[in-house]
A and B are shown apart, each in its own frame.
Chain A
Amino acid sequence: MYPKQDFNFTALGRTLILGFSYQQDERSLHFIRVLRTALNEQFHEQLEDSTTTFNSINLFFKEAFQLEQIKPELLKTIAALDFKNTNPTTLWKLPICVAEDYTTDVQEFFIGDQKKVNAYIDRFLSLEFHLVFYGFLPGFPYLGGLPAAMAIPRKATPSRLTLRGSVAIGGDQVGIYPQDSPGGWNVVGNCPVPLMDFTKNPPNPIEPADRIQFFKISTAEYAEVVTALEKNTDHPYLKPFAHD
């Protein structure tokens, strides 16, 4: 958790950056989410948008602002934050296909040692991640919660093509590619369900600090979901997977 003196304030043009140290635990992430929500309400009229990263809340103001003028207001909000009466985080369960075609990078990392690959994937599926923020590409989530022992370094030379839906590991971060893209992360599986539907507004229900767990689906089930998406028909895996 964050004592008041842990925050620092900088400006990037009309963006006010509220900096803090990155703490991976769920309670800290939840605190940041509650604080961002409070700041959104406090500065509602003056803001275009606000974002979070690992170690900052960023307030995008419509007009130029005076940092020294706003700072006391921010500190007041931080001090008065009522953390107890806030909505709890949600657990989302997302399908992942870990058939060989989708795990080539992990295969490569373990030099084809199938036993190690399987052990790695099994442990991956047992983990609960939390969404830290969206960045890099529209709808690309940075997920925290991968134990240091499971970190896989980014590729020295990025792949020309990382497929849409790829669940991938870059260092101790996990991400899901919302579209085909060049990418330097190591693919561990593929999630056929898009996290965002940009034709809807708002396009996505999964918020920073929410928890995510993957569950294994077969190649046949994967194909069903893809077909359902193409034909715009229903499939149980396409329903929101919110728990608790």
Chain B
Amino acid sequence: MIEVIDAGFYTSIQDHGRVGYRHLGVPVSGAMDQKAFDLAHQLLGVTLDFSCIECTLIGPILRFHEPCTLVLTGAHMQAWVNENPIQNNTSITLKAGDVLKLRRATKGLRTYIKINHAIISPVVLGSTSFYKPLTPKAILKKGNPIFWIKSNKAINKSNARIRWDDSYLLSNDLAVEEGPEFGVLSEHIQQEIFRKGFVISSQNRMGYRIASPFSMDSVSMLSGAVRPGTVQITPSGKLLIAGVDGQVSGGYPRIFQLTEEALNVLVQKKEGDTIRFISLDKLPRKEP
């Protein structure tokens, strides 16, 4: 059992997501940073249970009442077990009574805590991912204990040698493909949008809002499909990038789609950070 001593800024349970219900208007949810989420599982060598704890900006303080092994991936937060500083991307063994303390993110925004036992959380439409009101809670709260089912699965020690690369946490470049309505942008904006940096105004799991100097004539269009990483532009020039809890449809021109990798870069950015769009066609091709 995990006792939540302090829940942190915005901490929730997330798994691989609620896949297959978009046709009912249900967003996929799940971990915002899929790369960090996958890495956590690889490092721990666990594949059966997918739930982990997603921490945002300021992490939680958790007391573990039973022993476990865990790993932190994604954003680097100030992190201690009891009073001893710990690092990301390496498995850490906790004794009963140990306190894991995560505080401010120093690099990136979202950190994942993955333990080697199966976290118990209500399953709605095949997923434990918090998404209110489908799930009873949006975030963890102080005093709400987290229970687990003990897993006897041996941890594969060799996984500690998995190569990982956290350089994306420092990247500001978002690789994009043109979206279906890219053509509504004037020729001038089509060029300028790749030359400027844009500052993030606000963000949450539903999406990112980004100011731009562009203004548009209002485009009359019917709502179309939107997926995580779809960039829409509003008439006032605001850029909206859908997150994993974002609506499944949207009524503004879809000018870009972030690559999966770029979405992982974006979700580690916080308010005030600057991002740039890079056309996928102009990126150097990776060797096969």
Contact = CB atoms under 8 A, between A and B. Distances in A.
B25 A53 contact: no
Given A13-B177, A49-B19, A136-B249, A22 B222 contact: yes
Interface stretch (B38-46, B143-151, B224-232): B224-232
Contact of A53 (B20, B134, B177, B224): B224
A181 to B, nearest CB: 10
B24 A54 contact: no
Nearest to B181: A10
B23 A52 contact: yes
Contacts of B162: none
Contacts of B257: 11-13
Given A13-B229, A201-B125, A135 B25 contact: yes
Contact of A48 (B20, B25, B124): B20
A139 interface: yes
Interface in A11-56: 11-15, 17, 19, 22, 48-56
A53 B248 CA distance: 10
A53 B227 contact: no
A83 interface: no
A179 interface: yes
Given A48-B20, A58-B225, A179 B247 contact: no
A49 B124 contact: no
A137 B222 contact: no
Contact of B248 (A13, A55, A135, A179): A135
Interface residues of B, number: 32
Given A136-B247, A179-B133, A201-B126, A60 B227 contact: yes
A199 interface: yes
B259 A13 contact: yes
Contacts of A60: 22, 227
Contacts of B24: 134, 138-139, 196, 203-204
A49 to B, nearest CB: 5
Nearest to A21: B222
Contact of A49 (B23, B179, B180, B230): B23
Contacts, number: 95
Nearest to B222: A54
Task: From A11, A22, A49, name the one whose CB has the most chain B CB atoms within 10 angstroms.
Answer: A49
Contacts of B258: 13
A158 B215 CA distance: 22
Interface string B228-265: 01100000000000000001110000100111100000
Given A48-B20, A135-B247, A138-B24, A55 B125 contact: no
A53 B19 contact: no
Given A17-B224, A138-B134, A179-B133, A198 B124 contact: yes
A133 B180 CA distance: 20
A134 B24 CA distance: 5
Contacts of B133: 179
A201 B24 CA distance: 12
Nearest to B131: A138
Interface string A42-81: 0000001111111110101000000000000000000000
B82 interface: no
B124 A51 contact: no
Nearest to B227: A15
28 contacts: A11-B177, A12-B227, A13-B177, A13-B257, A13-B258, A48-B20, A49-B21, A49-B22, A51-B225, A51-B248, A52-B23, A54-B223, A55-B222, A55-B224, A60-B227, A133-B249, A135-B25, A135-B248, A136-B25, A136-B249, A140-B25, A142-B223, A198-B26, A198-B125, A198-B134, A199-B124, A203-B24, A204-B24
Interface of A: 10-15, 17, 19, 22, 48-56, 58, 60, 133-140, 142, 179, 196, 198-199, 201, 203-204
Interface of B: 19-27, 124-126, 133-134, 177, 179-180, 222-225, 227, 229-230, 247-249, 254, 257-260
Given A49-B19, A136-B25, A139-B24, 9 more contacts: A10-B180, A12-B227, A12-B254, A49-B20, A49-B21, A50-B23, A53-B225, A138-B25, A138-B26
